[in-house]
Structure 1
Amino acid sequence: MAPSKPYTPKGAYTPKGVRQISEVANGLLDPVLAKRAGISTLLLGSWDEIAGEAFADCTRPEKIAWPRRVSEMTGESRHQPGVLTIACDGARALFLAHTEGELVQRINGFFGFPAIDRVRIVQKPVTPVNRTRRPPRPLTGQPARHLEALTAEIEDEGLKAALTRLGTAVLGQKR
């Protein structure tokens, strides 16, 4: 079956060959996520809204396990509601467990059909660890003069400072 094209209103101008980067990325990632984890980029992108303010920062959907049941009469397989595995930071998992019913309803409302019948919570760190980086060493010699020449004509001080920081980091890297 050929992939379906995104809906565009009749008469809308869509230049040939022009696609949004998100369409390309989703087209590449969705098959991999569906095969390995049973989820889509649409679910991952909407997770903050589904989880709500209380759990958006401390949870992340990991995978959906879809059990299959084979009908004895017809021999065809049917999908049953799956189990969503959610990673949750430490002690917040207990509070998430208490709201499991509401979360299942929100997820099923997102899908538009009863896709999930229960949630499995796994305690693990979700928030990225903030690593403090040392500022790059100031440039000296030819690289410093070259960077100064590149940013000399920039009038906006904020932009000039940002580009100088960027240039210092790039030109100061050891190769």
Structure 2
Amino acid sequence: MRRKTLFQIAEIANGLVDPILAKRAGINTMLLGSWEDIAGPEFADCTKPEKIVWQRRASEGQADGGFEPGTLVVACEGARALFLSHQLGEFIDRINGFFGFPAVQRIKIVQKPVTPLNRPKRRAPPLPQDKAQHLSKMLGDIEDDRLKAALEKLGRAVMTQKKHG
């Protein structure tokens, strides 16, 4: 008997939209969806990634095909662009950390109004008591509040993942 597999609409949409975004803008929905975490609270509301411009190589036909990091174009509102320009090094590190390799070598800031991403915040389902205690015990020795909060968010997401199959 065939087993019916359920998919979330987001999974299907990402599968359809990612190739289009990658071809037209050089970005994917993972980057857009994680932008709030990458940009941090100081820039999440006033910036938005628009596209990644990849360098054209003169030797595109060569077998070694060395990778060249691209330029991320970020829309930023008004005077906040000045503050962003002072933190570009850290921003590039965050973006490359997200990708897991040096994908971006520079950021081009474009000043223009940014419409906030009005997506409702999804609340993670509550963890069972035993898992919540286990997570709390694992994070008990961490002193940095921001790091602890980020790891707790990650831990909750991992522990509440649905099993597909």
TM range (shorter): 0.5 to 0.7
Question: Structure 2 length as normaliser, TM-score?
Answer: 0.64
Runs of 5+ unmatched residues, structure 2? 117-165
Equivalent residue, structure 1, for 2:100 = 112
Specify which of 74, 78, 84 is matched with residue 90 of structure 1: 78
Unaligned runs of 5+ in 1: 1-14, 129-175
Q: What's the offset of the Cα at 1:20?
A: 1.0
Q: Distance in 1 between matches of 2:32 and 2:61?
A: 37
Compare relative contact order (CA 8 Å, sep 6+) and give the higher one, 1 or 2.
2
Q: Distance in 1 between matches of 2:114 and 2:64?
A: 39
| CA separation of 1:125 and 1:71: change in aligned 2, threshold 3 A | same
Q: Which consecutive segments of 4 or more residues in structure 1 shift more than 6 A? A: none
CA root-mean-square deviation? 1.9
What's 1:52 paired with? Answer: 40
Partner residue of 1:160? none
Deviations 1:43-99 (A, max 9, x none): 000000000010000000000011133559945533300000000001100000000
Q: Secondary structure at the match of 1:79?
A: coil
TM-score, structure 1 as length reference: 0.61
Query: Equivalent of 1:38, from 10, 23, 26?
Result: 26
The alpha carbon displacement at 1:120 in A equals: 0.1
Identity %: 65
**Partner Cα distance (1:112, 1:20) in 2:** 26
